[in-house]
Structure 1
Amino acid sequence: MKISTLMAALAVSLTGTVASAAQYNANHFFAERHSMVRGPYVEFAKNVAEDTNGEVTFKVFSAGSLLPPASSLGGLRDGIAQVSYHAGTYTPAELPVANLIGNMAFYNTDPLVMAFASTEFGLTHPAALAEWKKNGIVFGGGYSTSEYHMQCNTKVETLADVQGKKLRMPGGAWSRFAEHIGALPVSIPSSEMYSGLDVGVLDCAVAAADALDSFSLKDVVTSMNTLAVGNYYAGFEWAYNADFWKSISPENRKVLFDQMAYYLAEHRIEFDADVEKAVSAAKEKGMVVYEPDQALQDALAEFVKKDEATLIATAEERGVENPAAILADFKQTIDRWDALLDGIDRQNVDALAELARTEIYDKLDPATYGTD
C-alpha cells in the first residue's frame, strides 16, 4: 500500500467516513496565528459549519501538522485533506500554469490586486481549470502575501551591498533576480529562515515583513531594504479534493463561495496590519530600514523586462501550450483589478468582500462549477 493511501486511510479513521461524520480535514502549513490561517481557516471553518447547519465541518490542521508543505497538493488529491493551502513553487511539474502566473510577481506588486486577480484567473481561465482538474482538485480561491523585502543580518542598502550576499528566495523568478543582481539565491522553506540568518547560512531572508514576528526574524534581523521584491501568490489559499467537492450540495458550495469571498478580503487587510506591527516592533529592537539606491531600483526594472522571455521558455519546457497568450490574459485580469480597486476603501472588509462576490464568485454556478 502506498504511503499516501495509508495516510488517507488514517485520516478517515480519525475523522470518520465522509458519509457518516460530515467532518473534514482542512490543512495549512503556517501557524494558526498567521493571518492566512486564523481568519481564512479557523474562523472560516466555524462560519462554514454554522452556515451549513453542521453538514460541512472542518477540523483545521495548521503548522504542517497534517501535511508538510511539499505534500499538500498530493495529500489534497488523495483525500488526506478536503481543503488545503498550497504554495505552488513546491510542485512546478504538477502546476506549470500556476507557476507561470505565479512567477509574474514583479508585474504588479499590489497585494490586493494580485489576490483578487489570481483568484479570478484560477476560477475562470481554461488553462488553469484544466490544470486543477488534472491534479484531482477544485480551485477555490487565491491569495497574495504582502510585498517581499530583504530582511538581513547585515547592512543592505545599495546594489553593491547586495552583491555576493546569500538571499533566501522562494525559487523561480526570485532566484533569477538574485542572480541578476549578483547575489546567491538559497532555496529553503520559510520555517528555516530564522536558523539560516542566525548561523550565517543566510545574509537576508526575502519574504513578507510579517515574518519579523510570525517567524521571529526580528531577533536575528538588523536591517531591512524596502525594495519591493515581488509578492507571492503561487498556488492557492483554498482548493478542495474533487470527490469531496462533488459530494456536497450546491447550497453548501455557495456557502463556501461566500466565505472565501469574505476571507479573500479579510486576510489581505490582516496581513498588511501584521506587517505594520511587525516592522514597528523590529524597529524598536534596533532594526534599521533602508531605501534602495537608484542602481538597485534600476536593476530590478531591468530584470522585470528581461525575465518574461524566461517565464515563457520555462513554461514551454514544462508542456504549457501557448504560455505567452496565458500571460497576456493574466495581465488583462491584473489590469482589470487594478482599475476595480482604484479608490475603494482598502480597510473596509465588507466592501472588498462584496466586490469579490459580485465580480467573481456570483458569476459561478455552484451546481456545476468543479463537477465535470
Structure 2
Amino acid sequence: MKFTRIMASAAIAIAAATAGHAKENLIISSWLPPSHPINVDMLEGLVDMMEEATGGEVTGEVKMGLAPPPAQMDLVMDGAADMTVIFHGYQPGRFVGTKLIELPGYEGNAEAASVAYWRVHEAHLSELDEHRGVKLIGLSTHGPGQIHSNQAVQSLDDLNGLKTRLGGGVSADVGAELGLVGIQVPAPKVYETLDSGAADAVAMNMGERISFKLNEVAKNVYEMPGGLYRGSFAVLMSQERFDSLPEAAQKALEENVFGEPFSRMMGKAWDESDVRARKATEEAGDNTIVQASEEDQAKFAEMAAKVREKILAEIAEAGIDAQAAYEMVTAEMAKESSM
C-alpha cells in the first residue's frame, strides 16, 4: 500500500509538472490550397516564429476547409479556430480603411508595402476598429496585381468588356475604370472558372500563376508597372485565446512576432512567390508577358487618380485623415525601399 501511495504521488507530481509546461497548440484556419505561400511560407512561418519566441511553449497547426473565405473572421470570433487569415475584399462594406493599401500607384514591393501598412494602421487606421472582436496580429498586401487572360491582351483597350474575375475591394473599382466585366468568385475557384470559360481573365499578383496554375488556363499576362491594384490581407487571433496564454508567452509574442515583424515576413513571402512565378512563366514556352506601353501607362495613371480620389473620400467619410494616411504609406514605402 505504501509503495502504491508513493507511486501515485509521483504520478501526480509528474502530471502537474508536465501540465505546467504543456505546449499551447493554436488551430490556424486557412481557406487556400495546401501549397499556397500563405500556408507554407506565411502561416507555417508564423508557427516557427511563435515557437522560437516562446521557447517552444506556443505552437500552431494549420487546418484547411473549416469555413469558406468570407466566414473566417466569424470562425475565430465563435471560437471554432484560434487564428485565421482573411482577405478584406471578400466582405464588401465590412472594411473601408483596409482599401488604403490596395490603391494603384504605390512604388515598392510587397514587403515595403506590408511594413508601411502596419505602421499606418497603428498611426491612423486602428481608430476605425474594423477588426473588433478579434486580435489583429499581422497585415499584408500581395505584390502588384496584373491581368492574366486566356486570350492575347496587347493594350488597355483590349481589356474593355473582358469577363474578369475580380477579388473585391479596390480591384473592383479599378476594373470598372478599365471596362472589365467583373466576376466575383473566391480565389480557390479561379482555375475552374477560367477553364470552363465562365471568365476570360483574372486579376491577381504574379505569384498566383503557380498557386492557382494560371500558366495552364491564363497563358497571357498584361503587366502594368507598379500594378493595377494590390490586395489587403490580415491574420487574426481569438482575443480570448491570446488572453489564456501564459503572461510570459503573451509578452514574447507581442514583442517579437505580432505586428510589424510578422507583417514584414508575409510581405517578403509574397515577393518571393512573385519572383518564382515570373521565372516559371518566362520559362514556359506557351506563356507570354506583355508590358503596358508608355501610352497605356499614362492613360492608366489618370484612371488610378480617379480611383484614389474615390477611395480616399470613402476613408475620410469613415472618420480618418485619409490624405495623411495615404502620404504616410507612400513615405514609409519609400523609406523601406531605400534600405
| TM-score normalised by the chain length of structure 1 | 0.76
Which residue identity lines up with residue 253 of structure 1 in the other structure?
Answer: Q
What CA deviation, in whole Å up to 9, does each residue of 1:40-60 have, x standing for no partner? 221321442354245423221
CA gap of 1:334–1:79, structure 2 versus 1, over 3 A, is: same
Q: 1:263-293: per-residue Cα shift (whole Å, max 9, x none)?
A: 4334433332322222222332311111113
Secondary structure of residue in 2 paired with 1:279: helix
Q: Deviations over 1:63-83 (max 9, x none)?
A: x42232101111122222222
Query: 1:86 aligns to what SS in structure 2?
Result: strand
In the other structure, the counterpart of 1:272 is 271
SS for the counterpart of 2:140 is coil
In the alignment, does 2:305 pair up with 1:308?
no
Say yes or no: does 1:78 pair with 2:78.
yes
Is residue 2:148 matched to residue 1:146?
no
Determine the C-alpha separation between the residues in 2 that align with 1:177 and 1:342.
Answer: 25
Could you list the per-position Cα deviations for residues 341-368 of structure 1 after superposition, in whole angstroms to 9, with x for gaps in the alignment?
A: 1432xxxxxxxxxxxxxxxxxxxxxxxx
2:174 equivalent in structure 1? 177
| Residues 133, 239 of structure 2: 8 Å contact kept | yes
**Structure 1 pair 315/33, CA: closer, same or farther in 2 (3 Å)?**
same
Contact 2:24 / 2:245 at 8 angstroms: preserved in 1? Answer: no
Change over 3 Å in CA distance of 1:281–1:82 after alignment to 2? same
Q: Secondary structure at the match of 2:141?
A: coil
Contact 1:132 1:139 in 2 (8 A): no
What residue in structure 1 maps to residue 230 of structure 2?
231
Q: Which residue of 2 aligns with 1:212?
A: 209
Q: Indicate how the Cα distance of structure 1 residues 268 and 226 shifts in structure 2: closer, same or farther if over 3 A, else same.
A: same
Q: Does 1:49 align with 2:51?
A: yes
1:318-329 matches, within 5 Å, as 321-323=318-320, 325=321, 327-329=322-324
Partner of 2:6: none
Q: Verify the 8 A CA contact 1:82 1:244 in the aligned structure 2.
A: yes
**Which whole-Å deviations, capped at 9, do the CAs of 1:6-54 have from their partners, x for residues lacking one?**
xxxxxxxxxxxxxx97322112222332222223221321442354245
Note closer, same or farther for the CA distance 1:329–1:256 as it changes in structure 2 (3 Å cut): farther
For residue 126 of structure 2, what is the amino acid of its counterpart?
A
AA paired with 2:95?
L
**Counterpart code for 2:77:** R
Equivalent residue letter for 2:60: F
Provide the identity percentage. Answer: 17
Equivalent of residue 59 in structure 1, options 58, 61, 75: 61
CA contact (8 A) 1:109 1:231 kept: no
Secondary structure, in 3 states, of the residue corresponding to 1:142? strand
Provide Cα deviations, 1:304-362, integer angstroms capped at 9, x if missing partner: 2112342245457xxx5334x1x223223313322421432xxxxxxxxxxxxxxxxxx
User: In structure 1, what is the equivalent of residue 287 of structure 2?
Assistant: 287
**Bigger CA radius of gyration:** 2
Instruction: Please state whether the residue corresponding to 1:170 is helix, strand or coil.
Output: coil
Residue 112 of structure 1 is matched in structure 2 by 111
Does 2:330 align with 1:332? no
Q: Which runs of 5+ in 1 are unaligned?
A: 1-19, 345-372
Cα deviation per residue 1:174-199 (whole Å; 9 max; x = unaligned)? Answer: 22222222221222211122112212
> Do the aligned partners of 1:197 and 1:220 also contact (CA within 8 Å) in 2?
yes
**Taking structure 1 as reference, are residues 190 and 321 closer, same or farther at Cα in structure 2, changes over 3 Å only?**
closer
Deviation, 1:139, is: 1.2
Q: TM-score, normalised by structure 2?
A: 0.82
Q: Displacement of 1:154 after TM fit?
A: 0.6
Q: Which residue of 1 aligns with 2:12?
A: none
| Matching residue's letter, 1:27 | S
Distance change (3 Å), C-alpha of 1:286 and 1:58: same
Q: 2:180 and 2:160 mapped to 1: Cα distance?
A: 5
Residue 352 of structure 1: aligned partner: none
Distance, in Å, in 2 between the alignment partners of 1:292 and 1:130 is: 37
TM superposition shift of 1:110: 3.3
Contact 1:72 / 1:84 at 8 angstroms: preserved in 2? Answer: yes
CA gap of 1:57–1:224, structure 2 versus 1, over 3 A, is same
- Specify every segment of 5 or more residues in structure 2 that has no aligned partner in the other structure, as ranges: 1-21
TM-aligned CA distance change 1:47 to 1:159, over 3 Å: closer
Q: Which residue matches 1:128? A: 126
Aligned equivalents of 2:173, 2:335: Cα separation in 1: 31
Mapped to 2, the partners of 1:266 and 1:308 lie a distance apart of 27
Supply the distance in 2 between the matched residues of 1:275 and 1:321 (Cα, whole angstroms).
Answer: 33
Shift of the 340–253 alpha-carbon distance from structure 1 to 2, 3 Å rule, reads farther
- Does the 8 A contact of 1:181 with 1:299 survive in 2? no
How big is the alpha-carbon RMSD for the aligned residues of Structure 1 and Structure 2? 2.6
Counterparts in 2 of 1:44 and 1:226: CA distance versus 1, 3 Å: same
Aligned residue pairs, count: 314
- Which moves more between the two structures, 107-116 or 84-93? 107-116
Which of 30, 40, 43 matches 2:42?
Answer: 40
2:13: which partner in 1?
A: none
